[in-house]
Amino acid sequence: MTKTGLQCGIFMTPYNPPSRTPRQVFDWALDIARIADEAGYVDYMIGEHYTLGWENIPMPEAIIAAAAQTTKSIRFAPMAHLLPYHDPATLAIRIGWLSQVMEGRYFLGVAPGGHHTDAILHGFDGIGPLPPMQLEALGLMERVWERKPFKEKGKYFQAGFPGPDTMPEYWVEVADNNPYGGRDKLEIAVTALSMNSKSMEFAGARDYSPISFFGGTPQMKAHWDTWAQAMEKAGHTPERSRMRVCRDIFIADTDAEAKRLVRKTGLMQTWHKYLKEIYVKFGLFGGIIADSGKDITPEDIDEEFLIEHVILCGSPETVIEKLEVLADKVGGWGQIVANQHDSIDDPKPWEESLRRLASEVCPKVKMPS
């Protein structure tokens, strides 16, 4: 069976050159949010990093709160709050409060943190200690959201919730800063990139939604299989409509025009100056090269290869075809998420591509259900 139509989402990592100022990145992120909302995008996800010059948004909730004033329907999420770097009780309250401000246009991404420079900033030697810290932080956050009196000191964090026995001599009415509609209404999502990412098992065991960053069909299959198996083991039903897939996308009138224009975009600049080195270093091109059938080393990947095998680049009809071919190989998913790359100096082609993805591609894509 097939169904027609995909949701559209935005992932604002962001990918901007380190020369951009925080104000430039902030204003650009708000512009993209407004355009996406007007075009009918469903979700807008914002990264959280503290030391990365190419991904410089350390406070995604600031953009979420600002964008709430200029958008009407699109949902927002920090993707993701890096839990080891936050006090769990404070973060739980801030998440709940912001979700209430957004009146439901909010969901949550969580992660342990994957960049060693962020870890060093917070006093760690590397990222090794972070996963167990994430688990403890989540447990304390869930207890805060239960709104029942407790005090707990864990290995890494401490938290509590006030009750009658902990009140001062006068009565204090405790604010209700739970997630909007209650904890059960708060969607939590987790991202994965590498083939053997443990985050999909972590997500499935807790009924969190999966977000797959593209690294080829073997990796996409592994992400789904791992998440689905963990969901079933925990007694949940995996649904492909919950899966989001992140891709680099560029659309123009014709394939030739799209290929010509994409070479001038921030997307290509990001790959040349930032992402290619990361993908080579961590072996992330393997599945993409296997899919391509090309005899090429990661180091030799050039613009032509990126345009043909990494970026969904072409006319609306070509991008629809590429999405449907991919879906036939790996199974369907619910939302295609467009990674955002710097378009500050020449916004028109990028913004037009975003609009066409929502109006001319996503409504027509046929997905196996």
Residue 184 is predicted with a pLDDT of 95
Q: What is the pTM of this model?
A: 0.96
- Answer whether 112's CB lies under 8 Å from 129's CB: no
Does the pLDDT of residue 1 top 70, yes or no? no
Q: Note whether residue 226 is domain-resident.
A: yes
Helix 60-67 vs helix 88-101: crossing angle, to nearest 10: 10
Three-point CA angle 250, 255, 257, nearest 5°: 80
pLDDT above 70 covers a percentage of the chain that reads: 100
Cα separation of the two ends of the chain: 6
Q: Note whether residue 70 is domain-resident.
A: yes
Q: Note whether residue 200 is domain-resident.
A: yes
- Answer whether 9's CB lies under 8 Å from 244's CB: yes
Q: Quote the CA–CA distance of 65 and 45 in Å, as a whole number.
A: 13
Q: Note whether residue 58 is domain-resident.
A: yes
Q: What's at 60, amino acid-wise?
A: P
Does the pLDDT of residue 2 top 80, yes or no? no
Confidence bin at 29 (pLDDT 50/70/90): very high
Three-point CA angle 206, 208, 210, nearest 5°: 130
Q: Note whether residue 108 is domain-resident.
A: no
Q: Note whether residue 140 is domain-resident.
A: no
Number of domains in the chain: 1
Cis preceding linkage at 14, omega within 30: yes
Residue 172 is predicted with a pLDDT of 85
Residue 3 is predicted with a pLDDT of 81
Confidence bin at 338 (pLDDT 50/70/90): very high
What does the mean pLDDT of the chain come to? 96
- Answer whether 77's CB lies under 8 Å from 71's CB: no
Q: Quote the CA–CA distance of 86 and 92 in Å, as a whole number.
A: 10
Q: Note whether residue 22 is domain-resident.
A: yes
Q: Note whether residue 12 is domain-resident.
A: yes
Q: What is the mean pLDDT of residues 40-46?
A: 98
Residue-wise pLDDT tens digits, 110-159: 999 999 999 999 999 999 999 999 999 999 999 999 999 999 999 999 99
Q: Quote the CA–CA distance of 6 and 363 in Å, as a whole number.
A: 6
Residue 170 is predicted with a pLDDT of 77
In terms of C-beta density within 10 A (0-12 exposed, 13-18 middle, 19 or more buried), how is residue 235 classed? exposed
pLDDT above 90 covers a percentage of the chain that reads: 93
Residue 195 is predicted with a pLDDT of 83
- Find the domain containing 215 and state its range: 2-79+187-249+335-345
Domain of 45, CATH number, reads: 3.20.20.30
Closest CA to 46 of 24, 34, 62, 31: 62
Helix residue ranges, H only, the chain: 22-39, 60-67, 88-101, 116-121, 130-146, 199-205, 217-233, 255-262, 266-270, 276-281, 286-292, 303-305, 316-330, 347-356
Does the pLDDT of residue 296 top 70, yes or no? yes
Residue 312 is predicted with a pLDDT of 98
How far CA 162 is from CA of 93, 207, 320, 326, in Å, comes to 13, 29, 54, 51
Residue-wise pLDDT tens digits, 310-333: 999 999 999 999 999 999 999 999
Give the H or E element holding residue 75.
strand 75-78
Q: What is the mean pLDDT of residues 229-238?
A: 97
Residue 77 is predicted with a pLDDT of 98
Does the pLDDT of residue 17 top 70, yes or no? yes
Residue keyed to tokens 């997500």: 203
Residue-wise pLDDT tens digits, 177-222: 999 999 999 999 999 998 888 999 999 999 999 999 999 999 999 9
Q: What is the mean pLDDT of residues 299-313?
A: 97
Grouping H, G, I as helix, E, B as strand and the rest as coil, residue 167 is coil
Q: Quote the CA–CA distance of 27 and 49 in Å, as a whole number.
A: 18
- Answer whether 276's CB lies under 8 Å from 302's CB: no
Q: Quote the CA–CA distance of 15 and 266 in Å, as a whole number.
A: 8
Does the pLDDT of residue 34 top 90, yes or no? yes
Residue 282 is predicted with a pLDDT of 92
